[in-house]
Amino acid sequence: MISLLKCMDCGREYPINAVLYTCKTCGGLLDVQHDLDALRATVLRELFDRRLGVPDAPHSSGVWRYKELIAPGLADAQIVTRSEGNTNLYPAPALAAWAGVRALYLKHEGENPTGSFKDRGMTSGVTQARALGMSRVACASTGNTSASMAAYAAYAGMEGIVFFQDRQIALGKLSQAIAYGATCVQISADFDRNMALVREIADALGIYVLNSVNPFRLEGQKSIIFETIQQLRWRVPDWVVCPGGNLGNSSAFGKALHELHQLGLIDRLPRLAIIQAEGANPLYRAYQSGFARYEAVHAETIATAIKIGNPVNYPKAVRALRWTEGVVAQVSDQAIMDAKALIDRQGIGCEPASACSLAGTRALVEAGVIGPQETVVGILTGHVLKDPDATIGYHRDALAGIQAAYPNRLYQAEPSAAAITAILQGAG
Ligand SMILES: *Cc1c(COP(=O)(O)O)cnc(C)c1O
Ligand SMILES: [Zn+2]
């Protein structure tokens, strides 16, 4: 057996095809563990470089290009892929100057098939569901997980079941889940409660859970790091900065970097910076105590994708921070929305949570943690179209508690050339 499931707390091992999300002995989170020693001889930079630009699945996918590091034992025929990944890494010199660093690259995960990085974890999660013979998959979601799962389930001919909160769901995400044909259930509870309900019901009904507690999701999400470093010609940046909600992505980043290092594909690790919204900051609070204390919080933030008070992957995120000498910062909704406006204004665009990467970079430069000569990769996790209400509300300066620093005013004009000319001369 080349891969297995292993409890990160007690070390108990399970076969790779066990339908299990946490350890039966101690309740700890499970890792998909690959036999890195067996892979070392064949998994080389050249292997992945040779696959760049190939036309056919699975290696055309920015996830399955790295198949040996994601599901080495899996038959290619099982793979459910939409050639996800292959997202742009944009140099952003104007934003680098604003944040106060020498170089800033933005990895735009909003360019995935359903508009968020979740597609990278969903291709691996739904593939595992197919390998296990599952016909129904479910998740609780703040939005993007459900959009992605609904699409991949439909594409694979499975039923997708989504547990939504009944309030504050970004419109783009809800409309996607409905459009892709998932069974959508709105529940009057927050994400954390819905998460618990999914786990309870799924076990009883034989439904496969595709929240990021599912370790196969994280395997696919590792490819954000693989692809970024390959795009940098295998040069390692000083920092990788990303938003933290349920902490699946940051956990996956830590595992990806650890594995690349173990395999000798990189010779040093970048430092990981996880950015939380002030109103949804359980990891930040724990970080302040050196991880001595952890407490769930009641989450409130305009960045709905990270509005999570009790992140399921907390222990894995702490491990990722230890592996990478990482840091945690928090930013206000004001800072998130202003940073989003700047990213949008570059023509790149992102949803609110994604802007934590830029707002957090600037905050960490101001705090003297990130140095001005350092190179930063910021992860943009979701597409600008996901949350139109937040964008329009910002530019109308109509968001409660936020004063738009970079609004783009929408002009109203009489239908006359003179009126329009007056506006354009004034605006020019
Ligand atoms: C899911 C999501 C996040 C949070 O990622 P976690 O893995 O839950 O920490 C951030 N931004 C966007 C756009 C997301 O969809
Ligand atoms: Zn255990």
Q: 228: domain CATH number?
A: 3.40.50.1100
Low-confidence ranges of the chain (pLDDT < 50): 428
For residue 244, give the ligand 1 atom closest to its CA: 9
Q: Per-residue DSSP letters for 88-113?
A: -EEE-HHHHHHHT-SEEEEEEGGGST
Of the listed ligands, the closest to the CA of 119 is: 1
For residue 240, being part of any structural domain is answered with yes
Distance 249 CA to ligand 1 centre (A): 7
**Could you tell me if the CB of 112 is within 6 A of ligand 1?**
no
Look up residue 105 and give its amino acid.
Y
Residue 125 lies in a domain: no
Q: Cβ(245) to ligand 1 under 6 A?
A: yes
243 lines ligand 1 (CB under 6 A): yes
Residue 169 pLDDT = 78
Distance (Å, whole) CA 375 – CA 373: 7
Total of domains in the chain: 1
Q: Which ligand is nearest to the CA of 10?
A: 2
What local confidence, expressed as pLDDT, does residue 1 receive?
A: 53
Range of the structural domain that residue 343 is part of: 89-115+217-395
In a domain, 293, yes or no: yes
In this prediction, residue 168 carries a pLDDT of 72
- The whole-number pLDDT of residue 282 equals 98
Distances (CA, A) of 195 to 8, 35, 244, 391: 21, 31, 17, 28
Return the ligand 1 atom nearest residue 245 CA: 9
pLDDT of residue 427: 60
Buried b (16+ CB within 10 A) or exposed e, 248-264: bbbbbbbbbbbbbbebe
For residue 24, how far is its CA from the centre of ligand 2 (angstroms)?
7
170 found inside a domain: no
Give a yes or no: residue 225 inside a domain. yes
Question: Is residue 258 situated within a structural domain?
Answer: yes
Q: Is the pTM of this model over 0.85?
A: yes
If one residue of 249, 331, 357, 358 were mutated to test the ligand 1 pocket, choosing by the most ligand atoms within 8 A of its CB, it would be 249
Question: pLDDT tens across 163-195, in order?
Answer: 887 777 788 888 999 999 999 999 888 777 888
118 lines ligand 1 (CB under 6 A): yes
C-alpha span between 426 and 428 (Å, rounded) = 6
Condensed to tens digits (0 to 9), the pLDDT of residues 267-308 reads 999 999 999 999 999 999 999 999 999 999 999 999 999 999
Check if 305 has its Cβ closer than 6 Å to any atom of ligand 1: yes
Residue ID of nearest Cα to ligand 1 atom 8: 246
Whether 299 lines ligand 1, by a CB cut-off of 6 Å, is no
Q: Which two tokens stand for residue 1?
A: 């057996």
